[in-house]
């Protein structure tokens, strides 16, 4: 089985006016995604943000859950934070994976739209199950990762569709749904 990494990207991101911005780190994204990553056996969760002020904020939250009262009172959450790594760029996350594995990872991202290199969940799941390479799955914040950056990636996962025509999930929910589809138990076969 392949090694799977995830990254939460805060730049370059579109805002609701289609402008490229840097989004803010939120405590919930750090905390909840780390727990989800640990649950699904993710090798590392990269929190990707270029600004030192946001890195300082993130480090305070991380320290609380690893070394402070939060980690002492909730050891399971402390364990989840061991998967977390704060980096400034997508390229830095890729370099860390290459250094750790010796290989360039396949880079996959998510979006609510279809692209020429869109891949289905079942196809990507089979690739992960039958491959020894590494995969970096990137999740955008705001209104998504900038298109020129997305065009550089190997695959873009198909959108998550519900039973209605509304499609604007919070990133924490999207991470959980996607990791379950790619790495979760095959409950429908039981």
Please write the tens of the pLDDT for every residue from 127-143: 999 999 999 999 999 99
Higher confidence at residue 22 or residue 190?
22
pLDDT band at 15 (very low <50, low <70, confident <90, very high): very high
- Per-residue pLDDT tens over the stretch 24-37: 999 988 989 999 99
Give, in order, the Cα–Cα distances in Å from 54 to each of 100, 115, 122, 167, 190: 26, 31, 36, 28, 44
> H or E element: which one contains 55?
helix 52-66
User: What pLDDT, on a 0 to 100 scale, did the predictor assign at position 26?
Assistant: 94
Share above pLDDT 90 across residues of the chain, in percent, rounded to a whole number: 77
Region 148-177: mean pLDDT is: 93
- Per-residue pLDDT tens over the stretch 82-105: 899 999 999 999 999 999 999 999
In angstroms, rounded to a whole number, what is the distance separating the alpha carbons of residues 68 and 170?
A: 28
Eight-class DSSP state of 123: H
In angstroms, rounded to a whole number, what is the distance separating the alpha carbons of residues 55 and 66?
A: 16
- Angle, helices 52-66/27-39, rounded to nearest 10 degrees: 50
Task: Tell me how crowded residue 102 is: count the other CB atoms within 10 A of its CB.
Answer: 8
In angstroms, rounded to a whole number, what is the distance separating the alpha carbons of residues 57 and 78?
A: 17
pLDDT band at 152 (very low <50, low <70, confident <90, very high): very high
pTM metric for this prediction: 0.95
Task: Give me the sign of the Cα torsion angle 174, 177, 181, 182.
Answer: positive
User: What pLDDT, on a 0 to 100 scale, did the predictor assign at position 43?
Assistant: 98
In angstroms, rounded to a whole number, what is the distance separating the alpha carbons of residues 1 and 139?
A: 22
Which residue, among 113, 69, 107, has the nearest Cα to 90 in the 3D structure? 107
Q: Considering the chain, what is the average pLDDT of its residues?
A: 94
pLDDT band at 65 (very low <50, low <70, confident <90, very high): confident
Question: Is it the case that residue 187 has pLDDT exceeding 90?
Answer: no
Give, in order, the Cα–Cα distances in Å from 92 to each of 3, 22, 42, 128, 135: 17, 17, 18, 22, 15
User: What pLDDT, on a 0 to 100 scale, did the predictor assign at position 84?
Assistant: 95
């Amino acid at each position: 089985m392949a090694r799977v990494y995830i990254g939460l990207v805060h730049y370059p991101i579109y805002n609701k006016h289609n402008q490229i911005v840097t989004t803010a780190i939120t405590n919930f994204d750090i905390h909840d995604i780390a727990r989800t990553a640990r649950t699904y056996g993710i090798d590392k969760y990269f929190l990707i943000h270029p600004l030192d002020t946001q890195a300082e904020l993130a480090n305070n939250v991380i320290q609380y859950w690893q070394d402070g009262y939060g980690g002492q009172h909730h050891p399971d959450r402390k364990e989840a934070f061991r998967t977390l790594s704060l980096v400034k760029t997508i390229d830095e996350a890729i370099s860390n994976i290459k250094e750790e594995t010796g290989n360039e990872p396949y880079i996959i991202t998510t979006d609510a739209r279809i692209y020429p290199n869109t891949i289905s969940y079942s196809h990507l799941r089979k690739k992960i199950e039958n491959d020894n390479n590494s995969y970096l799955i990137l999740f955008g914040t705001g209104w998504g990762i900038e298109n020129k950056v997305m065009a550089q990636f190997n695959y873009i996962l198909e959108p998550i569709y519900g039973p209605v025509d509304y499609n604007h999930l919070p990133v924490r929910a999207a991470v959980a749904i996607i990791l379950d589809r790619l790495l979760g138990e095959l409950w429908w076969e039981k």
